[in-house]
Structure formats: structure tokens, C-alpha cells
Structure 1
Amino acid sequence: MDSTESPDRDFIDKVRQEWTRSYPDVDSSPIEIMGRITRISSQALHQLDRSLDSSGVSRAEFEVLCALARCDRPLRASEVTAVTMVSSAATTKHADRLVKLGLVERKRFERDGRVVLLQVTDAGRALVDREFPGRVDRDRRLLEGLDAEEREVLARLLRRIARNSDDADRI
């Protein structure tokens, strides 16, 4: 077995090797990390999409429900947009559908009737209660083989990369 077929190698190793061959003057080492982050994220989101098929909501709608379910108060649409990282138009579209499904309700803000708040309904909370533990369990399975210390180190390193990404968005 040659070094390209080592059992420790993965899809990203193959991709990086191809880029190195095609662009030998470009340091493609960031692919080692960013390529894996992207691939893992894509696969995890695909698994979530499949698991939500029977619930009748999309992943984006589920993210809106989760944002509302984990908060101890109703949220403005702009607050939901901020935590779900989708456009305000998409938040409105998702909220409209969730309201029609009876999973979210709109309420008027007591101090300013022009402000509309979104709140998860009992049916919406039941859906989150049913689906969220499975999501966490799938994530846990992705981390199998890492001990608590390795998970802590990985979380700390990824937090630094996430901050770099957040900072890049502000520039």
C-alpha cells in the first residue's frame, strides 16, 4: 500500500494531493482543516435534513423553532435573524410557514403594538423536544473516539477559527 492509500487518509487528503499536483506553488495546507470542517458540516446538515423529513419542517424552519424554544421570551424577527444567520426575508418566510403549521405564533409587544414578537407554541416545542435530542446524538456520534480532553482542545481551537470568521464578516 502506498502513502496515498494509508488507512489514516481521508477524502480531504486526496483533494489536497490533487490541488498540490495542479497548483504546486500554492500552499494548500488550509484545506487540511477548512476542507474537513466544510465536509463534516455538510454531512451533518444532510443527516439533519433527512431526520427532519417526517416532521414536515425544513432545516431552516427547525433552526427558527430552536432559536425560539431555547429562549425564555418571545423574540423579534430581527433577533431570530441574528441567531439563525439567515436574511430577514428568509426569517419572515420561515415564520409565516411555521405560523400556518401552528408551530409559532405572532404576538404584539406590550409596550409598542407595532412590534411583532415570535413565540414557539406547544406544538412547536413538542417538535423541538422530539427532534433536538436526535440532533445532539448524531453530533455525539461524530465525536466518537475523542476523549473529553481532546474534545475540549478541539472546541477551543474551533472557537478561535469561528472568531476569525466572525471578524472577517465585519470587515
Structure 2
Amino acid sequence: MPSAHTLAETEEQVVTKLGTLPLDFEAMAVVSNLFRAANATRNYLERSVLAESGLSWTAFVVLWVTWIWEPIETRQIAEEGGFSKATLTGVLGTLEAKGYLVRERSERDGRLVNVTMTPAGRTLMTTLFPTFNSHEQTISSTIDPERRRELAEMLRAVTLVTEGQR
């Protein structure tokens, strides 16, 4: 659901309310707009692509990470997806019940659980992901292709700083 206020109105109100404080308003705008864009994008993709398949954003991320890295340990899925192991456990149960993936104890270490896609899970992702990517293209279509590369690099830099890898 869109905000009651435009980005410009919000930024103007912030300066009005906080203008006397010694703040870096450009840094604030970068972070708040990054957050707002991420949430808007997630909500858009859930409504326009994932809902039809009965998937939440988190379920899609679990399927995506598993699809790309399978077989993969549950702790790695949680790390890659950026969510807790408790959240992952519930989502894995749902996706396993739908027949999209399978959990198995690691033969190497019985404390670890490996996840693999089922044929139905692979078929879902092979069918779903081109549509998902089509919507990614729509989202980024207003940005010149060269600037998209720059934006992707800038977002990678933000990610590295926030993950402590820089």
C-alpha cells in the first residue's frame, strides 16, 4: 500500500522538523529511500507475481536460494536469505508440504540438515522465474541501462558495508 505522502513531501517535512539538528540529510535520504524502494519492490512482486503461485516473499527467497545452491544446508539458506532459522523452519515445512523441496539430515554431520529441490520445485522455479524477471525489468525500465549497472554497483557497496565486508 502506498504511503499517504510522496517522497518529496516526506523529505521536505523531515527537513522542516529536523533542520536545526546537525544531520547529514543526504545520507538520511539515501537510506530511507533505499528502505522505501526495497519494501515497495517486495510488495509489488508479492502481489504481481508470487501471490498467483501462493508464495510469500520469504518462501520465494528460500526456493531461489535452494534452486541456485542446492544441495544447501538450512543455516546457509537462512544466512543467504537474511532471516532467522526459526522463520526458515516454518517456511521449509510449508514448502516441503507443497512438494517443492526435501530436507534430509547430512550424512557428514547428523546435526545439519540439507535441502534440495524436488522436480515439482524445479518446474515451479523454471516457470515462475522468467515472469519474476519480466517484472524486475518493468521495475528497472525507467532507469537508463548504463545507470542500472551503476545503481547495481552502488547497492552492492551498501550491502558490503552493512554486512561488514568492507
Range of TM-score over shorter length? 0.7 to 0.9
* Aligned position for 1:47: 44
* Aligned position for 1:144: 141
**Structure 2 counterpart of 1:122, from 97, 119, 123:** 119
Contact kept, 8 Å, 2:105 with 2:111, in 1: the verdict is yes
TM-score by length of 2: 0.84
State how far apart, in whole Å, the 1-side matches of 2:109 and 2:142 are: 52
Deviation at 1:140, TM superposition (A): 1.6
Deviates more, 1:33-42 or 1:111-120: 111-120
State how far apart, in whole Å, the 2-side matches of 1:112 and 1:159 are: 34
Over residues 76-95 of structure 1, what are the superposed CA-to-partner deviations in whole Å (9 max), with x where a residue is unaligned? 11111111111011111111
Over residues 115-147 of structure 1, what are the superposed CA-to-partner deviations in whole Å (9 max), with x where a residue is unaligned? 321111111112212222222222222222333
* Aligned position for 2:30: 33
State how far apart, in whole Å, the 2-side matches of 1:32 and 1:113 are: 47
Over residues 59-111 of structure 1, what are the superposed CA-to-partner deviations in whole Å (9 max), with x where a residue is unaligned? 1111111111111x311111111111110111111111111111111223233
SS of equivalent to 1:105: strand
Contact kept, 8 Å, 1:12 with 1:35, in 2: the verdict is no
Structural mapping, 1:7-18, within 5 Å: 11-18=6-13
State how far apart, in whole Å, the 1-side matches of 2:159 and 2:130 are: 24
Over residues 13-63 of structure 1, what are the superposed CA-to-partner deviations in whole Å (9 max), with x where a residue is unaligned? 221111111122133322332222122211111112112122122211111
* Aligned position for 1:21: 16
Counterpart amino acid of 2:36?
R
TM-score by length of 1: 0.82
State how far apart, in whole Å, the 2-side matches of 1:161 and 1:105 are: 34
Q: Give the fraction of aligned pairs with identical amino acids, expressed as a percent.
A: 24
* Aligned position for 2:55: 57
SS of equivalent to 1:29: helix
Find the structure with the greater CA-based Rg.
Answer: 1
* Aligned position for 1:90: 87
* Aligned position for 1:131: 128
Contact kept, 8 Å, 1:13 with 1:32, in 2: the verdict is no
Measured on the aligned residues, the alpha-carbon RMSD in Å equals: 2.0
